[in-house]
C-alpha cells in the first residue's frame, strides 16, 4: 500500500486519516510551528514537520510541500478541502512527478475551477446556467450593460475561488458602481485573481448541490442532493440531505442529479465532487459551479446512502474499483442534517478566536460529530473558525430534527464563543421545522435575534484563562 501525505488539518485531516487507515495506506500527518499539538496527528501513522507560522509558509507553500514529499518518500497526497485542494498548478506538478493526487485530474480542475470557463462548458453541455456575462467583465459600464439586459438584482461574483468570498448583490446602478471595485479587490486578495462575473440574482433561491462520484474508467454516479440554503455571507452553516424543498418530487430530484452527471462526464471527471445549482421558487434550476474536492458537508450524504465518499475518493485516485458497481446500487434512506460548529459570535456570526477550556458531549443515538476539539486547544485567527460538524440522522426529517435538538443541548464547549446557541435557535424555529426557508433565511427570519448570550459567563471564562496563563508564566 502507499504512503499518503494529508495536506490539511483539523476535522477533515482526521476524516481522511481514518479512511486511509481503513484501506491499508500509511497516513502521514503534518504539524506546523503554529500548531504544535494538532488533534489529527493521533489518527495518523506518521508525523512530519512543515516549518512556518502562516498558511502561506505552510499549507499553501508548494515548494516546501514538494520537499516533504521527496524527503519522506510520499506516493500520494490528499488535500482535504480548502488550501491546495483545487489548485490546478499543484495538481499538475504532482502529475509531472508521478505523485498521485487524491482528487480529480488537473484538466477537470482547470475546466471547473474557473467560473467563466465552467459556465461556458455547462452551456455547451446543455446544462442550464444563470443568465449573465459569458466571461469575466472588464469594466463598470460593461457590467451595467449586462445588468440592464438581465434585469436587477444582479450578483457580482469572483471568477476564481469560492466559500462566499468575492460576492456582492446589487439592486441598482448605484450599488453596482459602489461594489464592482470592492469585489475585484476581495477576489485578488482571496484568490490571487481579480476577474469578476455578473449574473442575474435569483430571488428567494434554494442552494441545491449534487454529490457525484466517478472512477478512472469513465463511470460517473450521483449520490443524490443536499440543500445548503441556510448561509451567512454566502457561506453554509446548516445542510440537509435530501432537500426538503425538492421533497417527494422524485422526477425533479432525478433531473437535477442526472444533469450533474452529464456535466461531470463532459469534463472527464474522475473523483468525488459536487455540482452546485441555484433553484428558484418555480423549481427551475441553474448551474452555479462545481467544487472539485470533498465538501465540508459530505457526511450527510454518507449517512443517507451508506457510501463512504472519502474512501471511494481514495480508491478512485489509485485506479481501483469503487464500492458501487452501478447507479442502481445507490439509494437513500432517512434524513440527515449537519450543523457547522464554529468559534464565532452566535449573533454577529463573526469569528471569535480563543482557548477551549472544557469540552463535553451527551448525545442521543443517531449522532455523528466530526470534530477536532480538545480541552486546551487554542483557536487562532490563522484558520477557518469551523471546529466541528454535528450530524443528526433519523428515519424521517422530523426524527432527525428531534435528535439534533437534543444533541445541540448536549454539546458543551467552554472557554470561547461558539455558534451552538444560534443552531439551537434555528432547529426550533417554525420555518426551519417546516422546511420553508431559502438563502435569505438569516436575513429575513433572523433566528440570531432569539439567541440569549450570557456575557458574564464569557467574562468568567476569560478570567479563568488569564489565571491559567499567569500560572504558566
Phi, psi of 34 (to 5 degrees): -90, -10
Three-state secondary structure of the chain: CCEEEECCCHHHHHHHHHHHHHHCCEEEEEEECCECCCHHHHHCCEEEEECCCCCCCCCCCHHHHHHHHHHCCCCEEECCCCCCCCCHHHHHHHHHCCCEECCCCHHHHHHHHCHHHHHHHHHHCCCCECCECCCCCCCHHHHHHHHHHHCCCEEEEECCCCCCCCEEEECCHHHHHHHHHHHHHHHHHHHCCCCEEEEECCCCCEEEEEEEEECCCCCEEEEEEEEEEEEECCEEEEEEECCCCCCCCHHHHHHHHHHHHHHHHHCCCCCEEEEEEEECCCCCEEEEEEECCCCCCHHHHHHHHCCCHHHHHHHHHCCCCCCCCCHHHCCCCCEEEEEEEECECCCCCCECCEECCEEEECCCCCEEEEECCCCCCEECCCCCCEEEEEEEEECCHHHHHHHHHHHHHCEEEECCCCCHHHHHHHCCCHHHHHCCCCCCHHHHCCHHHHCCCCHHHHHHHHHHHHHHHHHHC
Which residues, in sequence order, are CB contacts of 350 under 8 Å at separation 6+? Answer: 344
Q: Give Cα 30 distance to the centre of its chain.
A: 21
Of 149, 147, 79, 156, residue with least CA distance to 115: 156
- In angstroms, the CA 98 to CA 73 distance is 12
Catalytically active residues, by annotation: 293
Q: Residues 1, 24: contact at Cβ < 8 Å? A: yes
Amino acid at each position: 500500500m502507499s504512503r499518503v501525505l494529508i495536506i490539511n488539518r483539523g476535522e477533515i485531516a482526521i476524516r481522511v486519516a481514518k479512511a486511509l487507515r481503513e484501506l491499508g495506506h500509511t497516513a502521514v500527518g503534518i504539524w506546523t510551528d503554529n500548531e504544535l499539538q494538532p488533534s489529527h496527528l493521533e489518527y495518523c501513522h506518521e508525523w512530519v514537520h512543515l516549518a512556518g507560522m502562516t498558511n502561506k509558509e505552510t499549507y499553501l507553500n508548494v515548494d516546501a510541500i514538494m520537499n516533504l514529499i521527496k524527503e519522506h518518500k510520499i506516493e500520494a497526497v490528499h488535500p482535504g478541502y480548502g488550501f491546495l485542494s483545487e489548485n490546478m498548478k499543484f495538481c499538475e506538478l504532482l502529475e509531472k512527478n508521478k505523485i498521485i493526487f487524491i482528487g480529480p485530474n488537473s484538466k477537470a480542475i482547470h475546466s471547473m475551477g474557473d467560473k467563466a470557463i465552467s459556465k461556458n462548458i455547462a452551456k455547451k453541455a446543455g446544462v442550464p446556467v444563470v443568465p449573465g456575462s459569458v466571461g469575466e467583465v472588464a469594466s463598470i459600464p460593461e457590467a451595467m450593460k449586462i445588468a440592464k439586459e438581465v434585469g436587477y438584482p444582479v450578483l457580482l461574483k469572483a471568477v476564481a475561488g469560492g466559500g462566499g468570498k468575492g460576492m456582492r448583490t446589487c439592486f441598482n446602478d448605484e450599488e453596482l458602481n459602489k461594489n464592482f471595485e470592492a469585489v475585484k479587490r476581495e477576489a485578488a486578495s482571496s484568490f490571487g485573481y481579480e476577474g469578476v462575473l455578473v449574473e442575474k440574482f435569483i430571488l428567494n433561491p434554494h442552494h441545491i448541490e449534487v454529490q457525484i462520484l466517478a472512477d478512472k474508467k469513465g463511470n460517473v454516479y450521483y449520490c443524490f442532493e443536499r440543500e445548503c440554503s441556510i448561509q451567512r455571507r454566502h457561506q453554509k452553516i446548516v445542510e440537509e440531505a435530501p432537500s426538503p424543498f425538492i421533497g417527494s418530487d422524485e422526477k425533479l430530484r432525478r433531473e437535477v442529479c442526472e444533469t450533474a452527471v452529464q456535466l461531470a462526464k463532459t469534463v472527464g471527471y474522475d473523483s468525488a465532487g459536487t455540482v452546485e445549482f441555484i433553484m428558484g421558487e418555480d423549481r427551475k434550476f441553474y448551474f452555479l459551479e462545481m467544487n472539485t474536492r470533498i465538501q465540508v458537508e459530505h457526511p450527510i450524504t454518507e449517512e443517507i446512502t451508506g457510501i463512504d465518499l472519502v474512501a471511494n475518493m481514495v480508491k478512485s485516485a489509485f485506479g481501483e474499483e469503487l464500492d458501487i458497481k452501478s447507479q442502481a446500487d445507490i439509494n437513500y434512506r432517512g434524513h440527515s442534517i449537519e450543523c457547522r460548529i464554529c468559534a464565532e459570535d452566535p449573533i454577529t456570526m463573526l469569528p471569535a478566536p480563543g482557548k477551549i477550556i472544557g469540552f463535553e458531549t451527551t448525545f442521543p443515538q443517531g449522532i455523528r460529530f466530526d470534530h477536532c476539539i480538545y480541552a486546551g486547544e487554542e483557536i487562532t485567527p490563522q484558520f477557518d473558525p469551523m471546529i466541528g460538524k454535528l450530524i443528526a440522522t433519523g428515519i424521517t426529517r422530523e426524527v432527525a430534527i428531534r435528535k439534533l435538538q437534543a444533541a445541540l443541548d448536549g454539546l458543551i464547549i467552554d472557554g470561547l464563543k461558539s455558534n451552538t446557541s444560534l443552531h439551537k435557535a434555528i432547529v426550533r424555529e417554525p420555518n426551519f421545522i417546516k422546511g420553508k426557508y431559502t438563502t435569505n433565511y438569516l436575513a429575513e427570519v433572523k433566528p440570531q435575534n432569539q439567541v440569549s448570550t450570557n456575557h458574564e459567563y464569557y467574562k468568567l471564562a476569560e478570567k479563568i484563562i488569564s489565571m491559567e496563563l499567569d500560572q504558566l508564566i
